[in-house]
Chain A
Amino acid sequence: MKNTNQVIDNFFADISNSIRKNRIIFSVALLTVVAFIPALGLPSYILRIGVMIMIYAILALGLNIPTGYTGQVSIGHAGFFSIGAYTSAILVTQAGWSMLPAMVAAAAIAGIFGFLLGLPTLRVSGTYLSICTLGFAEIVRMAVLNWDTLTNGPMGIKNIPYPTVFGVEMTLRNYGAYYMILVMLVMTSVFVHLIINSKIGRAFRSIKEDELASMMMGVFTMKYKILSFVLSAIISGMAGAFYAHFMRYIDPNSFTFDTSILILSIVILGGMGTMRGMFLGAIILVSFPEALRFLEQYRFVFYGLVLVIMMRYRPQGLLGWRSKSPYEFPKGVDPDKIARGFNNSSSQNKMI
């Protein structure tokens, strides 16, 4: 299996190498294709799956920050998803807000809860932290279930208005919903890319690799662990807001343990700590149960199986290979020139 993995890695690493070189062209091409999908005149249930894939890709990109990069495994991300969905739904249906500000508020409130959930990372880690996240999601669910006046309890919130942008309804029929979530996905991807490829992302990854060593290099690991939860929660909350308006109906059962596990499965299947993996993972895990409808009630078993098999044979995830291309230095840095520029004499000594 190890060899198989290597063959896969080499194959894809070469491809990804060439993609990397033409990253912009590749992204634009891919986006164009995705943007033209609605023009194919597909039945709306297919488009709906496309929207769901994109929602879950956003959720996975969010969870990937603490779990994939920072190494803090959360099995309670349905909690943030739920908070975002309920916040936006309540603000729009009960307080008469329009959707975009409600979505911002949803992200902000989820972010506050992300901060609160990040606090236990000060004291617990590993399995214990995961249990905390599980508990958090369960508390959110119970609160939603029992806070009737606000959430309408087990009845859920019905007739949530469609997403609207500047007064235009974004539905499946006019493809608005599809393009809106696509824009949100692109924005999230760019956001994550910018943060991960900075000293912040390096700090995240160093914590996953060796928290003590990271601390010894002066990284305020607590701060960064909390930040990873906050960013993740903001992204999940935003996805939740869209979800509520897109589905037009939410109840406590929309955000259960299964949801958390699905998001985590996407991250693990795709490849923790990669962005490409989140897209593939979402495509596979969201569309599979739809394609194999008879599996529907065994979805949970299916995800469990996927996780076990992945952990056994390809723990790095489907697309979780190490890049074989050289490290990308910022523009304006010529590593070879700098490395050549100093020989073994006094001029070099100054550089230490």
Chain B
Amino acid sequence: MSLLEITSIVKKFGGLTALNNVSLHIEEGEIVSLIGPNGAGKTTLFNILTGINEIMHGEIIFEGKAIQNKPPQDIVKLGISRTFQNIRLFQNMRVVENVLIGTHINTEYNFFDALFRTKKHRQQEILKAETAIRLLKAIGLEHRMHDYASDLSYGEQRKVEIARALATGCKLILLDEPAAGMNQQESANLLMFIRELRDNGYTVFLIEHDMNVIMNISDRIYVLDYGVMIAEGKPEEIANNPEVIKAYLGGVIEDAVS
């Protein structure tokens, strides 16, 4: 059984069909990429997966459970978390607080525990703080944990978003153009980090425009073109798929692969 199984979903915005009969599956422990030209519907697919947008038709099964059109909070709880194409950090909160918000759903104390500073409250706060620091350390941002999110560089902010998403305790992480705005070095580090994630049992589904990143890291690639899934396969297959090349990629891929 696949970790995620999407079957013929349709999404329309008024007259515009953003996704037309899109199906895909993701196996546990895979790194799967989604590529396609601007406006292809990639982010829309993420929005549907995370409960921001509703679909009229189709089915999404995650770990055997139908999750289409569920509220976002239920979906995170089930183990899907994400980052955003346009960074959506809590800019006036500290970096570590941003990650702590990620731990919110697993922070198990209630209003009265907080009010009376019970043992449960203390233990949970310590535990979650440690989790947050470790995540930041893992992604190489431990030196920034005290800073306010808005003081970080673009690339660093993207990393905080990843740490925040991981803090939810997800199994599947959706990364929407994680390398955008990163320099060569940063994006190379990011590649390494994404592999580490996979090696630690996470499943990664990412949207990316940077062909270097895509071809290097993906186990499989899906290609979306104006709402239609036109190809699926291993990086080499995608690179040599004439339809993909025609639709979108031109000569870029061969350069990246060679």
A residues near B, CB below 8 A? 191, 194-195, 198-200, 202-203, 205-206, 209-210, 212-220, 227, 322, 326-327, 329-333, 335, 338-339, 342, 348-352
Residue of B nearest to A214 (CB): B101
Q: In the bound complex, what is the Cα–Cα distance between A213 and B87 (angstroms)?
A: 10
B73 CB-CB contact with A under 8 Å = yes
B residues near A, CB below 8 A? 50, 52, 72-73, 76-77, 81-82, 84, 88-94, 96-97, 100-102, 104-105, 107, 109, 111, 114-115, 117, 121-122, 124-126, 128-130, 133-138, 142-143, 145-146, 148, 164, 166, 168, 196-197, 199-200, 202
Q: With a CB–CB cut-off of 8 A, which chain A residues contact B76?
A: 216-218
Q: Is B134's CB under 8 angstroms from A342's CB?
A: yes
Give, as a whole number of angstroms, the nearest-CB distance from A198 to chain B: 4
Q: List 12 A-B contacts (CB under 8 A).
A: A194-B114, A194-B115, A195-B115, A202-B97, A205-B93, A210-B91, A212-B52, A213-B90, A215-B72, A217-B76, A220-B73, A352-B134
Q: In the bound complex, what is the Cα–Cα distance between A200 and B109 (angstroms)?
A: 10
Give, as a whole number of angstroms, the nearest-CB distance from B31 to chain A: 15
Q: With a CB–CB cut-off of 8 A, which chain B residues contact A338?
A: 130, 133-134, 137
Q: Is A335's CB under 8 angstroms from B145's CB?
A: yes
Q: With a CB–CB cut-off of 8 A, which chain A residues contact B90?
A: 205-206, 209-210, 213-214
SS class, residues of chain B in contact with chain A: helix
Known: A202-B97, A218-B76. Is A351-B134 also a contact (CB below 8 A)? yes
Q: Is B135's CB under 8 angstroms from A218's CB?
A: no
Q: In the bound complex, what is the Cα–Cα distance between A168 and B135 (angstroms)?
A: 57
Give, as a whole number of angstroms, the nearest-CB distance from A230 to chain B: 10
Give, as a whole number of angstroms, the nearest-CB distance from B161 to chain A: 9
Contact of B114 among A199, A217, A333 (CB under 8 A): A199
Q: In the bound complex, what is the Cα–Cα distance between A210 and B90 (angstroms)?
A: 6
Contact of A202 among B101, B109, B134, B166 (CB under 8 A): B101
Contact of A199 among B52, B104, B134 (CB under 8 A): B104
